[in-house]
Amino acid sequence: MRRSSVITIAAFSCFLCAAAAIRIIPQLSSAQAAQPQNAHPSPAATASQGPQLKPASATVPASLKPADISSSSPRLQLPGATTEIYTAKRGESIPAVAHQYLHRTAYLTSSELSEAIRAASGKPNSTNILKAGEQITIPGILPAPIAEHTVPVARDFEVRAIYLTGIMAASDHGLRIIRHWREVGGNAVVFDIKDSDGSVTIPFEHPLLGKHQVYIHDLPKFVHFVHSQNMHAIARIAIFRDERMVVEHPELAVQSKKNHQPWRENGKLVWTDPSQPKVQDYDIALAKFVAQSGADEIQFDYVRFPAEGDQKDAAFVYQTEHPETVQAENQACKVERPEPPDSSAAPGTPGTSDNTPGHKSRVADKKGNKSHRDDTKTACGASPGMQRSDVITAFLKKAYAELHSTGVLLSLDVFGVMAWQRPVDLSHTGQDIVGMAKYCDVLSPMIYPSHFFGMDNIAHPGDAPEHFIGESMQRFELITHPDGNKTSGVVIRPWLQAFRWRTKTYSPEYIKVQVATAKEKGGIGFLFWNAANDYSKPYAAMPEMRAADLKEGSKDKAKFFRGDELPGVTVKASLTPAATPTPVEGALTEKIKQDSDRSWGGPHPSGDPRITALRRERASQ
């Protein structure tokens, strides 16, 4: 072959390769840039940690997909927002620039800012790569950071909420979930600030909290988005179950009497000492910071002592300060129980440890007296000295005093089984409902029907929502309002089951039965829990419930919910003066790191009854 022919063929081949590269590189760049926002788990992660989230298309209507979201203007309309011209450097892309500018704009995620940059700069939607010296327009630039304010409501405001993990709440998918929940009749969202693994999802500086992965990079901005939807923002904080804390600060963990090492619950190092002042101060400081960032309600979860493991080996600070307590506690409640026939039951839930499957529960009558129709042998005597319940109540008294002045509500998640008021449950958890109710606005018992294993002689409790929701709510109302006066005191707002584990009847109708029963028995509002944040059944049930209530003609006759809404003024944000930076401004302005892969269950310990339930539910599908 002639030399000229070889040169011609080589040149033509190079041209084809270059053309292919031009088409491929933007696609790769787009996929990589989207990863921090989507944060979908890798196959390896889900194989070891649990099932994956369902694709967005499985639970979100087509009308809510990203392609249908307008990006020509910022999601948050704030006065004073401007544009800025940016000159690209060599090798930069639009997603990278959006990543860099996000904290300065009214946009909530990098992907929506990327779309807005393309629209403002006249770029095609598929464009990512920028040339050196190329100029693009950055829209929605704020003159100063957002300073959001709490929207106060009465404690008996009827909340209709769903739960979102921190990583979900900060994603494009999470924003679509929030919008859709609003569309179907919801008026609130619960989102993680600190989960039971100790992960803190927001920028927060504290001596006990080192460098950590942040998901909600600008909490005031996120809360402002929730408020812009006319929704109540509930910030969930897991209190004393904090795996990160005890790993990094083992001296703050529950201690073992046998080996003088951090105590483990069934082999897991996860519990801080609830009576440790440093732990209490840390949690209160975090809650106050969140309240000052505009949240409307602080929700404490895991506000209790460990309920499983070798209880006699667990040593706490309050026992050292009150030595007379130790012997009294060891003698207070000695329990012998038959072995559970179902070893697969979720630990830490009604039916396990404190409620073994197949064991007939010791149930209180309507006056609070306990029957003795079970197989449990219990010897409970008077216990002088400080008790676990005293520690929990004293902590709540302190927290409530410091938080209430900020205007936020304080709500507490409690075990559903505490409605049965069994001494063994009280002695382990320290959740004295009467004492706790004095220092909060709302109690949220976790009364998922599927978790009441072996109780009330019902073989399949998951398929008896009306019974267990009704029985639990009635008991909680009797405990907290013994005089029958429900116009004052704490509000009972239950966590309801929004997952199909251990029930063959999970459906929109299942949702409706729970909501109607809870309301009939005195509940005000409700919270839906699904660890995977899949609310397809509540989505379907909400419009049906709302339509049925509208037919009744008045809120007083409503079967499902009154339909309370927030005040008409939805925009409560202001702009923080640039001359007075917040203490965490440095953390807010740092370059956001790429989110690491995390399964929907994340590093949640198996002891969390709600996470355990969903893991088993997904595994069985």
pLDDT at res. 385 = 83
What pLDDT band is residue 486 in, cutting at 50, 70 and 90? confident
pLDDT at res. 554 = 78
Decide if 25 is inside a domain. no
Task: Report the SS3 class of residue 136.
Answer: strand
Decide if 322 is inside a domain. yes
Decide if 381 is inside a domain. no
The yes-or-no verdict on residue 178 having pLDDT over 90 is yes
The yes-or-no verdict on residue 264 having pLDDT over 70 is yes
The yes-or-no verdict on residue 583 having pLDDT over 70 is no
- 123-149 per-position pLDDT tens digit: 998 899 999 999 999 999 999 999 999
- 305-321 per-position pLDDT tens digit: 999 999 999 999 999 88
Yes or no: say if 549 and 559 are a contact pair by the CB < 8 Å rule: yes
Name the phi and psi angles at 149, rounded to 5.
-125, 145
pLDDT at res. 463 = 97
What pLDDT band is residue 157 in, cutting at 50, 70 and 90? very high
Helix (H) or strand (E) holding 413: strand 409-415
Of how many residues is the chain composed? Answer: 621
The yes-or-no verdict on residue 154 having pLDDT over 80 is yes
Mean pLDDT for 146-166 is 97
pLDDT at res. 9 = 44
Decide if 515 is inside a domain. yes
- 457-484 per-position pLDDT tens digit: 999 999 999 999 999 999 999 999 998 8
The yes-or-no verdict on residue 332 having pLDDT over 60 is no
pLDDT at res. 330 = 56
Separation CA 400–CA 389 (nearest Å)? 16
Separation CA 244–CA 255 (nearest Å)? 16
What pLDDT band is residue 80 in, cutting at 50, 70 and 90? confident
Separation CA 116–CA 140 (nearest Å)? 9
Separation CA 570–CA 572 (nearest Å)? 6
Decide if 103 is inside a domain. no
Decide if 111 is inside a domain. no
| Amino acid identity at 263 | W
Decide if 303 is inside a domain. yes
Decide if 437 is inside a domain. yes
The yes-or-no verdict on residue 103 having pLDDT over 90 is yes
- When the pLDDT of each residue in the chain is averaged and rounded to a whole number, the result is 77
As for how many domains the chain has, the answer is 1
The yes-or-no verdict on residue 356 having pLDDT over 90 is no
Nearest to 248 by CA among 287, 288, 197: 197
Mean pLDDT for 187-192 is 98
Share of the chain above pLDDT 90, in %: 64
pLDDT at res. 487 = 73
570 vs 493 pLDDT, higher one: 493
pLDDT at res. 380 = 36
Give the N- to C-terminal CA distance of the chain in Å, as an integer.
63
147 vs 48 pLDDT, higher one: 147
Q: Is 73 exposed, middle or buried (0-12, 13-18, 19+ CB in 10 A)?
A: middle
Nearest to 613 by CA among 545, 530, 546: 530
pLDDT at res. 269 = 96
What's 560's domain CATH number?
A: 3.20.20.80
> Is the sign of the CA dihedral 115, 118, 122, 123 positive or negative?
negative
- 502-543 per-position pLDDT tens digit: 999 999 999 999 999 999 999 999 999 999 999 999 999 999
| Amino acid identity at 501 | W
Domain of 613 in residue numbering reads as 160-333+387-619
